[in-house]
Structure 1
Amino acid sequence: MVWPATHLICQHLASNSFNPGDCVLELGCGCGLAGITACLSRRSTLNQWVSTDMDERALDLCRENYAVNGISIDVADSVAKIESLRWGDENRIASILHELRKRYEDNGKLFDSLVGADIVYPSTCGQVLLDLLRTVDALLKPGGTFWLSFATRDGPRTPYRLLEVASETGFALDCFPPLDSSTANLMPPMLDSKLLILKRSVDARDRNAMIGYESCRIFPGMLLALDHLDSPSSDDDWDAPPLNDDTDG
């Protein structure tokens, strides 16, 4: 089974190339579908794609799937590379950057983009989210983009936690527009998937504070829904504003 948010990131990777020569790192690669899509895309101009996960079984499956699809990994000139990484592990982050900088003979080299699909869940606590974005901050170059394909599973609660941690770590959140009208057909109705863009910003907190109102297309009605859920007079029959409204705001 492939989760809806993974479908969404793969559609984006197949339809949009990165800048020529870009180096991209994926967080939580799982079976490796996003990396396979990126490496085999006819539009791909990547110099390197590094797939990471903290689960060794997932990394073994990723290696197997890369091999089945004819993608060479972990050799001198290969685009694809697979690394173990637990978010927040400073030693592993340093090791990955060391290999990147050795390849490019550039002691200041960082990744041009980071990618993650279905890596944030209702069970993802605030500390893990903090470790995630601190890892992104350590690996991503100034001006780089973290592409996070995210599925809403618990109404407003996880989006709100994500926004809080993004503000704390200096990342402003935006949403990439749908690629086409068929995107919605890939998504089961209970999972509202969005391709989020996180970039460093000096006014991240102010920008993120604008997200969540009914007129905002990212998580419309989130703040109103949270207020209701936290209210002691909450009515179980009350219908929260839908989170999959694409109204521009």
Structure 2
Amino acid sequence: MNLKPQIREIFIDNDKIVTISDQVFFQTGNDGVHQWESGIVLSRYLLSINPIGSILELGSGSGLAGITASKYTRSTNITMTDFNRTVLDNIQENILKNSARARVVYLDWRDVTTYTNPADIVIGSDLIYDGAPIQDLVRTILHHMNENGVCYIVMPDKRKMTPVFLEEAERAGLDVVAMELKDWFTCSPHRDVQKGFRDFAELTMRKYFLYTLTRKSNI
């Protein structure tokens, strides 16, 4: 079994590639050094909307989405966050691999004061899992999203904690709109289709949903 990180080329689109260090096999607690399929879907969504404004990524993992935004969208102020030091180090290495313009910051959802700068766009993928601090996550989104900002969360289907998160978000004053992302968003992340789907098999095994969160209007 190869326990060393592998260098992967992730094809966000035919001519748009991000190179990452991916820990295929990992110990519990270092899940963030593994590239999850939701991050690929989120990266492609960002490419499709080509956002302007500052971006803050929660639970950045490999940094794929933030690096995609830096290299291939109009956003110029990108911050990637996590609370795991190993994950943060891996993100920094991946930023350097891609000559991306982004910064890496420690952020613990249980203490939003660990990083306090808000952003126009808050993003995240596969953040809602068994044992995730749901209320803390919602509080972090609210704290770090500008007054007129937006949050994009991509999740695979059949995660039992997702409805809990959505209920908590609405209770906290957020409007939520759900949309399935499919077809191009879930195609093979490699020119060699068989290799791509072998490395990221869940792209063909699950449905992926984008949850767009905004503050409820007081009008």
Aligned mates of 1:189, 1:23 — CA distance in 2:
32
- Residue of structure 1 equivalent to 2:208: 193
Q: Report how far residue 91 of structure 1 moved.
A: 2.5
Given the alignment, which residue of 83, 88, 97 partners 1:59? 88
Please give the secondary structure, in 1, of the residue aligned with 2:161: helix
Match of 1:170 among 170, 173, 180: 173
Structure 1 runs not aligned, ≥5 long: 72-78, 98-109, 204-249
* Aligned residue identity for 2:104: I
Q: CA deviation at 1:177?
A: 5.5
The offset of 1:167, in angstroms, is 1.9
Tell me the equivalent position of 1:90: 112
C-alpha root-mean-square deviation of aligned residues, in Å? 2.0
Report how many residues are paired.
172
Instruction: Look up the match of 1:133.
Output: 138
Q: Which amino acid aligns with 1:112?
A: D
Hey, what does 2:69 align to over in structure 1?
38
Query: SS in structure 2 opposite 1:39?
Result: helix
**Secondary structure of the structure 2 residue equivalent to 1:132:** helix
Q: Could you tell me which residue of structure 2 aligns to residue 28 of structure 1?
A: 59
Aligned residue number for residue 210 of structure 1: none
1:182 to 181, 184, 191: 184
Cα deviations across residues 45-79 of structure 1 (Å, max 9, x unaligned)? 213000000111000000111111122xxxxxxx4
Cα distance 1:168–1:189, how it changes in 2: closer, same or farther (>3 A)?
A: same
Give the 3-state SS of the residue equivalent to 1:146 in structure 2.
strand
Question: Given the two structures, how large is their TM-score scaled by the length of structure 1?
Answer: 0.63
Deviation for aligned residue 1:85: 0.4
Letter in 2 for 1:141: N
For residue 197 of structure 1, what is the amino acid of its counterpart? T
Letter in 2 for 1:10: S
Partner residue, 2:99: 70
Alpha-carbon distance in 2 for matches of 1:129, 1:116 = 13
CA distance in 1, matches of 2:126, 2:157: 10
Instruction: Verify the 8 A CA contact 1:4 1:191 in the aligned structure 2.
Output: no
2:76 corresponds to which letter in structure 1?
N
Code of the residue aligned with 1:183 in structure 2: it is F
Higher radius of gyration, 1 or 2: 1
Q: Counting strand residues as a fraction of each chain, which structure ranks higher? A: 2
Residue 87 of structure 1 aligns to which amino acid in structure 2?
Answer: W
Structure 1 range deviating more: 55-64 or 1-10: 1-10
The one-letter code matched in structure 2 to 1:59 is L
Q: Unpaired segments of 5 or more residues in structure 2?
A: 1-23, 25-34, 189-201
Take 1:57 and 1:184, find their aligned partners in 2: how far apart are those partners?
A: 28
User: Which SS does the other structure have where 1:130 is aligned?
Assistant: helix
Q: How many Å separate the matches in 1 of 2:70 and 2:186? A: 25
What's the TM-score, normalizing by structure 2?
A: 0.71
- 1:185, CA displacement in angstroms? 4.5
Which of 106, 124, 128 aligns to 1:116? It is 124
